[in-house]
Amino acid sequence: MAMAIPCLHNTKSRMLDCGQSSPFLAGAARMVSEVDIIIIGAGSAGCVLAERLSQDCDRQVLVIEAGARGKTPTISVPAGFVHHFNSSRYNYCYRSEPEPELGQQRVYQPRGKGVGGSGAINAMIYVRGDRRDFDDWAAVSSPRWSYDAVLPYFRRLERHHSEDTRYHGRDGSIGVLSTRDSAPELCHAFFAACDATGLPNNHDFNGERLDGYGFYDMNVRAGLRSSSAREYLTPALKRSNLSLMTQTQARRLVFEGRRAVGVEVACGGERRTIKARQEVILCAGAVDSPKLLQLSGVGDAKALARLGIDSVIDNPRVGQNLQDHLCGSLFFESREPTLNVTLGRLTGKLRAGWDYVSRRQGPLAFGVKHAGAFVPLEGTGLSGHGEHPVQESGDGHAKAQVFFNPISYALPEEAGGRLVLHRHAEVSLFYNVCRPYSRGSVTLKSADPDDAPAIHNRYLSDARDKAELLAAFRQVRSLASAGPLKDILVDHRGYADMHSDEAILDDFRASCGSIYHLCGSCAMGTRLENSVVDPSLKVHGAEGLRVVDASIFPNITSGNTQAPTLMVAEVAADIIRQSWNT
């Protein structure tokens, strides 16, 4: 890995907010007309890149962010994420196009808008994924993306609670803390049920193996959300060669021939072009990175022509290969108190507040997803994974992820824009297939940058996904009736009577939703014919242009996608800095 290049710091950060009316800030924004490197998007990946690349004092780095710089406690306090499920201030609040296999539902898909991106509004669960996920990346791209090759980058970004330095870093920027000390007692009943069904205990989902049950790790440090915005970007903004423009929308990339030389932005009511002497790096995420490429003429030339967009690079793969984790939910009444009951009382609220203020523990310090499991699935009869093979079912490989939530609530879209706790004691078990086969797309509806793109997830369009989710449903149903859970949980929704595949699928369609893990829409590979970026994350056929975010995943990882997104940015930073010396 490349060594850090020390850079002198200023006492004043260069943050330009084009959404404010101050003539000084507006004037400062107009003065930024050319830099060496433009990073589009101050999300999880963009903030890491900004810090790493600005370590070289000789290069001027500019980060352009469409949203604001959120300083609200609801972003900083871990449990505050519930306030941003449906808030357009920090969230694009996208919806998919009608999904044929889900009864034409338009699935809600929040994406972070503002400094920190989705990493500022997510549930902070830190799961790297399975070794085989990254070995599959390497198989279609380069050995530098294998598990053994990327493990040092995971370690580099972590300030992890574990003493196991073989798998974890202790001196990195991102705080990683286990939920173990704050988990409600019901989590231990869930663990006993896992034991009763033969699942192994796993004390570290980010260690030697993924399968088994245990406590989740979270991106939390000192009781606060540990995002790349807080840990990477904020301290780096003290450097004189790093600037941040907020409330500035990137509308199109500017090309000279096939070389990206800048970006057209809308800022403070005006449009102008900012030039990049060296590189433009897209870090806008799995929806907006392919959208911006297509708006700029990089995509399916025939489709772009129908919208009146001139083609720069004809690549029909741009926006394809979209993947996500689709989640099912099982709800059970509980004979033991759950968080929705305790937090629904004044005494419970006061205790949670005191636990957080005095000890940085309790529900406010982590949220509600403390415990879970990664389970194999029996009886699916599946043996391959398309371009990205995985081992057969029944070999112990984690095929489904389970979240045990000792709480019950209505999501904002169901409750008028705010999260509402149910009054009765209830637990929920969420489950999803780890490596779905279905592939979707992100495409333009028009040539207007202000229009949201069309998101077609095509959930369950591959029959193998249905087979796996049916097995996952039955696995979770078994857990809910095993060990001590059998005497605690009440099957008031009649899951035990759902015997046919169609009955289970009907229940799944009624309760399912995205877990917000969109990725893969600018997939990495070796050829323009089957991918968008090469193993160095350069856009095929273009010069001076890379994509660095979750859109480059060739295949989705077996778990939450925040950790691998941070890792991708760390790897990309070394690739880019090494290119400066060649």
Q: Which of 161, 370, 517, 540 is catalytic?
A: 517
397 is catalytic: no
Q: Is the pLDDT of residue 29 over 70?
A: no
pLDDT of 374 higher than 60 = yes
Residue 53 above 80 pLDDT? yes
Q: Where are the beta strands (DSSP E) in 434-567?
A: 440-443, 454-456, 489-490, 513-514, 545-547
Give CA–CA dist 42/284, Å, rounded. Answer: 8
**Nearest-angstrom CA–CA distance, 133 and 138:** 9
Largest CA distance in the chain: 69
Q: Cα separation of 94 and 352, whole Å?
A: 32
Q: CB–CB of 243/32 below 8 Å?
A: yes
- Mean pLDDT for the stretch of residues 262-276: 94
* Integer Rg of the chain from CA: 23
> How confident is the model over 525-532, as a mean pLDDT?
96
Q: What is the pLDDT of residue 27?
A: 34
Across the range 323-348, mean pLDDT stands at 86
Query: pTM score, two decimals?
Result: 0.92
Is the pLDDT at 388 greater than 50? The verdict is no
Q: State the average pLDDT over residues 151-162.
A: 96
- The angle subtended at Cα 515 by Cα 510 and Cα 520, nearest 5°, is 120
Least confident piece of the model among 139-143, 405-409, 419-423, 427-431: 419-423
Look at 168 and 3; give whichever has higher pLDDT: 168
DSSP one-letter string for 234-303:
HHHTTBTTEEEEESEEEEEEEEETTEEEEEEEEETTEEEEEEEEEEEEE-SHHHHHHHHHHHTTEE-HHH
**pLDDT for the residue 22:** 33
pLDDT for position 545: 98
- Cβ–Cβ under 8 Å, residues 128 and 144: no
How much is the average pLDDT of 110-136? 92
Mean pLDDT of 394-423: 71
Mean pLDDT (whole number) for 526-546: 97
pLDDT in tens, 408-422: 776 555 544 556 777
At residue 366 the predicted structure's pLDDT band, cuts being 50, 70 and 90, is confident
Supply the pLDDT for residue 421.
Answer: 72
Do the beta carbons of residue 454 and residue 442 sit within 8 Å?
Answer: yes
Would residue 126 be called left, alpha or beta, if left means φ above 0 and alpha means ψ between -120 and 50 degrees? beta
Give the per-residue pLDDT at 15: 61
Among the ranges 4-8, 113-117, 231-235, which has the highest mean pLDDT value?
231-235
Cβ(97)–Cβ(109) under 8 Å? no
- Cα(42)–Cα(48) distance, rounded to whole angstroms? 9
Under 8 Å between Cβ of 228 and 174: yes
pLDDT category at 176 given cuts 50, 70, 90 is very high
Q: Is the pLDDT of residue 218 over 60?
A: yes
pLDDT single digits (tens) 179-209: 988 888 899 999 999 999 999 999 999 999 9
Gap between the Cα atoms of 132 and 572, Å rounded = 20
Q: Report yes or no: 295 and 444 within 8 Å, Cβ to Cβ.
A: yes
Rounded Cα gap, residues 377 and 545, in angstroms: 41
pLDDT at position 390: 35
Both tokens of 229, joined, read 């915005």
Q: At what angle do helices 463-480 and 186-196 cross, to 10 degrees?
A: 110
Mean pLDDT for all residues in the chain:
88
**Cα–Cα distance, 9 to 340 (Å, whole number):** 47
| % of residues, the chain, pLDDT over 70 | 88
Tell me what pLDDT residue 379 has. 58
pLDDT average, residue stretch 496-513: 95
Phi, psi of 5 (to 5 degrees): -100, 115
**What single letter denotes the amino acid at residue 359?**
R
Q: How far apart are CA 345 and CA 80, in angstroms?
A: 18
Is 80 exceeded by the pLDDT of residue 486? yes
How far is residue 558's CA from residue 240's CA, in Å, rounded to a whole number? 40
> What proportion of the chain, given as a percentage, has pLDDT over 90?
71
The mean pLDDT value for 111-133 works out to 91
Residue 202 φ then ψ, to 5°? -130, 110
Give the separation between CA 350 and CA 530, rounded to whole angstroms: 55
Which of the pair, 83 or 199, is modelled with greater confidence?
199
Q: What is the pLDDT of residue 32?
A: 77
The burial class, CB within 10 Å (0-12 / 13-18 / 19+), for 196 is middle
